[in-house]
Amino acid sequence: MALIEAILFLVIVGVAAGAVLSLFAGSSQRSAELLVHRQALAVAQALLAEVRSAPFTFCDPDVPTYASPTCVAPREDLVPGGAEPGETRLGAVTRLDNVSDYRNLAIGPGITSLNGTPMPGLAAYSAQVTVAPVAPAGNWNGVPASEVALVSVTVTAPMLPAPLVLQGLRTRHAPGRI
């Protein structure tokens, strides 16, 4: 009788231990997915802040009359394209200097800091930035769509179930004007 009780005890303990171990395995995988999601969110937030902190003036900030809406220099309008020739996100001297320059910016695979240093653990991540005009909703006192930009940052990573998309608005301004 004692042998049968011992065998039943071992079977019950084995089944219970298997169930507990499967719970631990599932929670550790979900924990890794959460880390990937948090890293992707951090990348998207940093890129969105970078784009929204750039000037969104009427003309290229390299031109002395950049603050004037009637500038004669090339306008920084929200049309398909991207940065001016020679401007890059990582350039020491010729950085992207306007929100419009970030149109269709692709980063990766591999996310780097602004000085070009690869970010640890983000080698498989990629990001896409789009900037497009958007008609403002609500009462904006007649502000046209060309003066408001919708900035979208899409981050992809191997363990993310779907790309993470973060969006923000940026309005055009002219420094030095009231």
Q: What is the pTM of this model?
A: 0.67
* pLDDT, one tens digit for every residue, the chain (178 residues): 788 888 888 889 888 888 888 877 766 655 556 788 888 898 899 889 988 888 777 666 666 655 555 565 555 555 455 666 667 677 665 677 778 788 888 888 888 877 778 888 888 899 999 888 877 666 566 666 567 888 899 999 888 888 999 998 888 765 544 3
Residue 31 CA: distances (Å) to CA of 36, 48, 121 = 9, 26, 16
Structural domain boundaries in the chain: 2-171
